[in-house]
Amino acid sequence: MCKIGVFDSGIGGLTVLEHLKKALPKEDFIFYADSLNNPYGEKTDEELFDITSNIVDYLSGRGCKIIVIACNTATTRCISYLRNKYPEIVFIGTEPAVKVACDGNYHNTLVLATPATIQSERLQILINDNKKKLNNVYLVPCFGLANAIELEDTKRQEEIINNIYQLYKEAEIDAIVLGCTHYPHIKDLISKYFKNVALLDGGEGVARETKKQMEKHGLITNKGTNDVEMIKTK
């Protein structure tokens, strides 16, 4: 039976997995948490191509015909490469919820993401495609935040969020795009500083697109029990 493969550079992708489980309650999953190579944002493209290819080889070897890249950095830097290398596999990427911010008609939006995602061409395309709907958008590279979440370093997490708050506390922020799948794990901390601000992540959209592509490619089984097999590198 075909399982849905999901991978990330650690625990961040679990936030996406929860949305997938709700959208596809009769499918089973293999979640590959690549903590060994965290953070992805500090790797070269060539290193990431090798790392993600090894993960895809493993997941496809386990029968996964659809793979969700539950990582913004891996999506922005590797998804085109992986689609070319593995044309027989359906890949679903994860992108910052810029369009969600546009549709919500917010006035001042922070986009929090890894430096690699902030600098990526894919994010710039997203912003350009939606610029007519965007008001003020501030792109914030969050150095070390994903790793602090992975390591459960709460002191460092708070330092980073406090520093961001000090920079933007006068900007009347009304929406924050959580542009890394690790960041929803610290929603409470972010809300502690940015009160009454909408926190937007792309997990629900990823789940909808996964279901859509599974239906399109005839991959729905309806035979699973929502089981998750966890694989974690250390």
Close Cβ partners of 83 (under 8 Å, ≥ 6 residues apart): 91
Residue of 2, 64, 71, 142 marked catalytic: 71
180 included as an active-site residue: yes
Instruction: Say how far residue 153 (Cα) sits from the centre of its chain.
Output: 20
If we measure between CA atoms, which residue out of 129, 68, 120 comes closest to residue 94?
Answer: 68
Q: Could you say which of 64, 78, 102, 180 is catalytic?
A: 180
Local structure of residue 139 (DSSP, 8 states): E
- Amino acid letter for position 17: L
All residues at 6 or more sequence positions from 28 whose CB lies less than 8 Å from its CB, including other chains:
1, 3, 4, 224, 225, 226, 227, 228, 229
36 CB contacts (<8 Å, ≥6 apart)?
A: 233, 234
Annotated active-site residue 71? The verdict is: yes
Q: Known catalytic residues?
A: 71, 180
